[in-house]
Structure 1
């Protein structure tokens, strides 16, 4: 957003144009200044309202404003973690083993899904990330939100977080609120910052080097350039699983070599902790140039890339409860013959390389017995190893393995436009803009196998990639009319066309191959994350028209009304509204409120993607799949769901009703705002309850048919011509499936409290700020056709703390600046992992800065100063996860950082 300084009289007209038109890109959402920004000077709103010179005290709805400098006061170098510290209703978690969600972490505002939050940069809609979060902790399951971490904090002038519904102004997604990142617009100056930090445990080392330079563009323009380089070392907060401990205790020799298992650390068999982030490079540009007294052209954009590597669960080669189906686990066999016997012992799977019934025969499985029930029979092991026609992974990878999964992410965007007054003096302002953005992720998975390829399997794979691309054209107008009221009537109107495309890129052939051993029970595709077999593309577009009217009716009363109609090519049309107002009882007390409708349209990716993920369900690792309704597997599964009598799954928009009311007052030198909100969401876009895949396949077979395994069912149905096996590649090991559909409804209620007081202390300036949020979401309906499960209900209602608060005390005296901040997290439950009844906790952050000279500052700080950890996971022995990954403040413990900052 470009707001030119009022320094020279010749720029006065330009300033009026810039202010009027830049806010014309945004909705009528006046701003409440948060505690971080409050001062004795009345602040002029530049985001939200289309009226010029609107003060924060006149705001009908709340928006937090955090300056770029204050945002960066913590140890994290990721902007999402910075927002978590600054905004109590904003939540973001570390994602150790979450498939693609490890690469682009899902964030929540007011406890709602990431795609219920609209993200803007300079008032323009930001394109979504390429990742759909299939493992989103319950709250974010299936969401496709914006990749906020692609934005470098050094580029930010300030962040404005609207805490109210805004679909009538912005369109889809603006249900929980709007986050607007305003870029620096400096035409001079240079700043460079270097930061190094680590955890108290000595891992998680990280560094950030960032710089910003402002350059003049002729006499009437600027170019602001920002670059950042960042690297974050992973942490390990894992424990030795019970099954592995049993192997070690029983003397199973390969279990001692943990380094061989995971290719990462020799301390534990399984990687679980903060992911590695390498080569994180970001570049942003923001510029504008006045071409006449009545017109200005502008441009901003970015490029960034990074590599993120997380972990997967350990694949146990022998212990019955945690063996990987289709890799090690074989049928029950006779311990004397190794032949299949339903009453026998469990075994390790053996494959016949020249095919069953061709050439020499092999045993069905290597019997397992001995102390701890972990020893493959050595005689049968030797027999399989000696026969070139027989194969088992227990011979080639005896210690099991831990896949390492990640991706290379690339993000880029550009926006260009021209804004001004059509003719000076007419009061009709315009802004015409075009923008295009994309986010692409190329996946990799290492230290794994495609079991169906047998001994020919590679160990590293490229499963393919995903890309989200969005194009937008906007034309906005603002016209001011003198109607004899306290202020002019602002009439804003405009139109917008937006197109989005979601592309899947095929992986290498081995990552999705249906190898020769598939028919013998060995799973196909790269284990843990199967490759995409072909390039696919899906797109949708929308066209919108809006009108927005706002005015000060009297000295005490302000009203704003907005209506927006939008039509989606795939999901029909919707019309949304908003009415907001504020009444000033006095200079020190005011009441405000808003009522609005909102919506969220499914993305092209959500409607068309197929995905298989590994989940830990009550201590057992199983594969769960997401199938598009339009696919062959989706249609087969839809038939099964319809047969249950609840109808056929469909996918459309979700709808919302927002209500908010609040007060603002000044008391004894302090300023306070208290706001209540209520958000009702119906027909929420969701991944429904998991359905047994084997049951669905059995339903498709002739009556009376029974199958023991999914692989058997797929092979049989293909032979009967009921399905085409090639359309089900990668689903051999699938235990459960689910769909995107409109399923359930929720009601979210909450209260925000923001307070600020400044005072003199010890000869310096002190400020105490309070920001607190109470938020509660309740599931009103689980849905009928494709209902969500009890675990998801529990996550939505209890996974996040209901109460969050930050209390900060900052003090400046001479060359020394200090900050002490208490972060309060209320109790929460992680029912899925048995981490229930977690009590409230307070984390302390501290920072001291010394201004060595006018240009140079040194900073020493610590986050989580007292080294607090969440409660340990009672199921850690089964999963290897020492703490719940849903911990609202992470699980790394305390951390420290050193920073040097040079400005010129």
Structure 2
């Protein structure tokens, strides 16, 4: 049995395209370096025999295992971003659950507009919904691809074309397929350690892979990765915190609020891939994973003069003072007006803070417990598991089958540290478990492929199949202290763990739906030079009904070295079960002030009153055309795409609540209503058009007594919001259109000699909209946004092969320590400089942590 993973019967009918810079860079290294050559076919491929990627009607980036290893980053999101210019992902500080599972963007569309596959099979979603997703990803719920270790991968395929007619929901922007290694022998073990130039963010990773025989007719390929990453800080002291310190408050931290990457602990993932030859052209396969990690990141500083529901309820004019027995008993708690920059030094505060007086024994302010304010930390434990089992083979020479079933589960157990439930008074705990989200998905597929001789150049390939999908989203209630209304509730103190109130039992539950699909596609090689593909898919959902989508693609070889390709398709993205049913309370900055905001289901009465309607699918129409050209060591591809998406799903703008609204929310079981200032909901409210160009050029030559590969990749991408209402708002429109750079490019030089390899990549990031604390302003009230300058970063790695088995690499990302634009609000808007403690604009497409250097050693066997 061949241990090559067979693609013809596994994949759905997307005709393959050109491999890009990653493939060529991987091929530059000689086989003696113990790295197997990357195949120039893709698992996500033709229904017939594997087709050369150069002969296909749609473009794909094919990234080999060795290319993935050349990056010093250990996060799969960053690895792909460094290779595919149309793929963007940002560093997310103080971003609620989006800091636990970072959302990414292909071609400027939301993270759940890209379908994720492993070995050609649909990957389950993460349980995290990105409520603070930087505008583009607000409310997105995509899969968590950061759990996939590079050590487990043979290659990654990024299909840059709509494919909903083949795969169903989510494939509007494209498809990413992660192909697991299937070697039956050999393996590797790698240790990597790195740190940022500023001396923080220390990251240590250990990973390994081993291939074993599974009897004489099969393979078992096992991979693991374990890593820890310290937090980073790119912060300055907040002016309000410094003002408290200057006024004599000695309890305020030197950095009251941290902007940086979160701390990641005990990040372990195990992947296994099995195959067994059953004889008679039949085989069984199984693959799956177990992954777990703990994440902890920063949150906003709670000022001890003004934080609502804890220290003051009138914006800092007076202190919020509790009558602990609630009866006064002849002892009236005096009002404490905040008349100085440090209320701790005021005589009237001293009266209530002195436990030796009757007033002090009966009255309480949280300044006694936390005199310097407090800064919660938000985090969680993420557990991701999956298993896929199936069999495939040939019934006869012209008919093949693939039958499989999959189960995927992602659970996010949230934790918020160093905060309090103010309504519990001085008895409040400081750490809480606000609850848990669980995403569970089950899949069943039957795929059939038939080849027919009809008198054209090659047999007509007819593929068809059936898919069943069941999805559930569970909300698990938090610990009682995280949501309970304590004895001080009626005195105006906030309910629930401040910053992320726990899920009440009344909000807990399991929400589910089912859908099934039938699909058919045809691939016809009419002549030696002309290929066409056709696909049609019907899908029916138990919630909103059915949808039918199509795709037509073509490829024409003008000469042996030059070909043209094109595609046209429709697509859709179904609202997730979580988006349709999720409710939550979060703390965010609005107009520069901390406010508590509730996210409501679109079916909630208050949401309906504000204009919400039941969610329906997004729909898309895409066209693309391009060319492939080979010439004397050069390889070029140029592709244009145009994607129109209607009824896009996202989180609405935030609406201020009336007293009537609050009464309705209380009746509906929403926690902490009295301290909630705003509400939002998921909605289908706006339409967009995204268009762009991908250009790829590769050149292979001998250079400096070695072999060299030069690769250039460029992407121009522009999104325009065609229509929207006040539900979406101008601020979100600005973020959708401007946050990501319109121009991205990479230039790579891979050089190999007898015992040394060198890899260098220049990354270009065009101008982008810099935004801080999600505050997009208006003409009347300027926000934090600026037009940030274009930047260039450089990544370098040098590898020395000490023996055939052992190699040592030294490298750096962003070797010249380039940072995005510094925050300068005073110059830009007239607001105080660095009001919230950040140094750099957080929307930077290349991050804000600066240069990172690393050392790694790899042993292959």
TM-score with structure 2 setting the length: 0.94
Matched, 1:119 2:116: yes
Matched, 1:367 2:340: no
Conserved? CA contact 1:559–1:580, under 8 Å: yes
Matched residue, 1:474 = 445
Which of 118, 142, 162 pairs up with 1:145?
142
Structure-to-structure mapping, 1:304-343, within 5 angstroms = 304-318=291-305, 323-331=306-314
Matched, 1:290 2:263: no
Matched residue, 1:711 = none
Over 3 Å counting, the alpha-carbon distance change for 1:297 and 1:42 in structure 2 is closer
Distance 1:532 1:724 in 2: 14
Displacement after TM superposition at 1:286 (Å)? 0.3
Conserved? CA contact 1:78–1:149, under 8 Å: yes
Distance 1:236 1:230 in 2: 20
Matched, 1:899 2:856: yes
Matched residue, 2:456 = 485
Matched, 1:763 2:749: no
Displacement after TM superposition at 1:121 (Å)? 0.2
| Secondary structure at the counterpart of residue 21 of structure 2 | coil
Which of 526, 536, 554 pairs up with 1:553?
526
Displacement after TM superposition at 1:732 (Å)? 2.5
Which of 408, 414, 439 pairs up with 1:443?
414
Conserved? CA contact 1:303–1:412, under 8 Å: yes
Over 3 Å counting, the alpha-carbon distance change for 1:3 and 1:87 in structure 2 is farther
Structure-to-structure mapping, 1:188-199, within 5 angstroms = 188-199=185-196
Displacement after TM superposition at 1:886 (Å)? 1.2
Over 3 Å counting, the alpha-carbon distance change for 1:733 and 1:723 in structure 2 is closer
Conserved? CA contact 2:86–2:744, under 8 Å: yes
Matched residue, 2:72 = 75
Structure-to-structure mapping, 1:869-880, within 5 angstroms = 869-875=819-825, 877-880=834-837
Conserved? CA contact 1:819–1:846, under 8 Å: yes
Matched residue, 1:574 = 547
Which of 724, 730, 734 pairs up with 2:676?
734
Over 3 Å counting, the alpha-carbon distance change for 1:325 and 1:487 in structure 2 is same
Displacement after TM superposition at 1:455 (Å)? 1.3
Distance 1:723 1:800 in 2: 36
Matched residue, 1:21 = 9
Matched, 1:818 2:758: yes
Matched residue, 1:337 = none
- 1:218-264: per-residue Cα shift (whole Å, max 9, x none)? 12110000011111011111110111121122223333xx1xxxxxx
Conserved? CA contact 1:247–1:374, under 8 Å: no
- 1:864-892: per-residue Cα shift (whole Å, max 9, x none)? 01011111122462111211221111111
Which of 669, 685, 701 pairs up with 2:633?
669
Distance 2:685 2:41 in 1: 43
Structure-to-structure mapping, 1:771-850, within 5 angstroms = 771-783=713-725, 787-831=727-771, 832=775, 834-850=784-800
Distance 1:489 1:723 in 2: 60
Conserved? CA contact 2:3–2:218, under 8 Å: no
Distance 2:498 2:576 in 1: 28
Displacement after TM superposition at 1:168 (Å)? 0.3
Matched residue, 1:134 = 131
Conserved? CA contact 1:208–1:229, under 8 Å: yes
Distance 1:509 1:603 in 2: 28
Over 3 Å counting, the alpha-carbon distance change for 1:56 and 1:3 in structure 2 is farther
Which of 486, 491, 500 pairs up with 1:529?
500
Displacement after TM superposition at 1:724 (Å)? 4.8
Which of 696, 713, 726 pairs up with 1:754?
696
Matched residue, 2:33 = none
- 1:7-65: per-residue Cα shift (whole Å, max 9, x none)? xxxxxxxx9xx343123xx2323121112213699934442221214111211000000
- 1:476-503: per-residue Cα shift (whole Å, max 9, x none)? 0000001111111000000000001101
Distance 1:362 1:521 in 2: 17
Matched residue, 2:779 = none
Aligned CA-pair RMSD: 1.8
> Which stretches in structure 2 are left out of the alignment for 5+ residues?
29-37, 776-782, 826-832
| Secondary structure at the counterpart of residue 567 of structure 1 | strand
Conserved? CA contact 2:333–2:352, under 8 Å: no
Structure-to-structure mapping, 1:419-434, within 5 angstroms = 419-422=392-395, 424-425=396-397, 427-434=398-405
Displacement after TM superposition at 1:902 (Å)? 0.5
| Secondary structure at the counterpart of residue 558 of structure 2 | strand
Conserved? CA contact 1:120–1:126, under 8 Å: yes
Which of 852, 863, 868 pairs up with 2:818?
868
Structure-to-structure mapping, 1:634-649, within 5 angstroms = 634-639=604-609, 641-642=610-611, 648-649=612-613
Matched, 1:280 2:267: yes
Over 3 Å counting, the alpha-carbon distance change for 1:4 and 1:384 in structure 2 is closer
Distance 1:461 1:402 in 2: 14
- 1:539-567: per-residue Cα shift (whole Å, max 9, x none)? 01100000010021111110000000000
Conserved? CA contact 1:615–1:621, under 8 Å: yes
| Secondary structure at the counterpart of residue 727 of structure 1 | coil
Conserved? CA contact 2:206–2:227, under 8 Å: yes
| Secondary structure at the counterpart of residue 348 of structure 1 | coil
Distance 1:618 1:730 in 2: 22
Which of 854, 857, 870 pairs up with 2:807?
857
Conserved? CA contact 1:823–1:843, under 8 Å: yes
| Secondary structure at the counterpart of residue 87 of structure 1 | coil
Conserved? CA contact 1:301–1:412, under 8 Å: yes
Matched, 1:380 2:349: yes
Conserved? CA contact 1:367–1:376, under 8 Å: no
Distance 1:469 1:247 in 2: 48
Conserved? CA contact 1:746–1:778, under 8 Å: yes
Distance 1:856 1:42 in 2: 24
Conserved? CA contact 2:336–2:348, under 8 Å: no
Distance 1:588 1:269 in 2: 62
- 1:441-466: per-residue Cα shift (whole Å, max 9, x none)? 11111110001111111111111111
Conserved? CA contact 1:330–1:365, under 8 Å: no
Distance 1:499 1:855 in 2: 46
- 1:169-212: per-residue Cα shift (whole Å, max 9, x none)? 00000000000000000000021011010011111111110010
Matched residue, 2:563 = 590
Displacement after TM superposition at 1:380 (Å)? 3.4
Structure 1 range deviating more: 498-507 or 241-250: 241-250
Conserved? CA contact 2:220–2:275, under 8 Å: yes
Distance 1:747 1:374 in 2: 54
Displacement after TM superposition at 1:374 (Å)? 5.5
Which of 14, 21, 31 pairs up with 1:35?
21
Over 3 Å counting, the alpha-carbon distance change for 1:726 and 1:143 in structure 2 is closer
Distance 2:593 2:633 in 1: 58
Distance 1:538 1:595 in 2: 35
Distance 2:736 2:666 in 1: 38
- 1:803-827: per-residue Cα shift (whole Å, max 9, x none)? 1101001111110101111000000
| Secondary structure at the counterpart of residue 8 of structure 2 | helix
- 1:482-540: per-residue Cα shift (whole Å, max 9, x none)? 11111110000000000011011111100001112112211100000110112311001
Matched residue, 1:263 = none
Over 3 Å counting, the alpha-carbon distance change for 1:674 and 1:361 in structure 2 is farther
| Secondary structure at the counterpart of residue 200 of structure 2 | coil
Conserved? CA contact 2:18–2:56, under 8 Å: yes
Matched residue, 1:64 = 61
Structure 1 range deviating more: 892-901 or 871-880: 871-880
Distance 1:576 1:637 in 2: 31
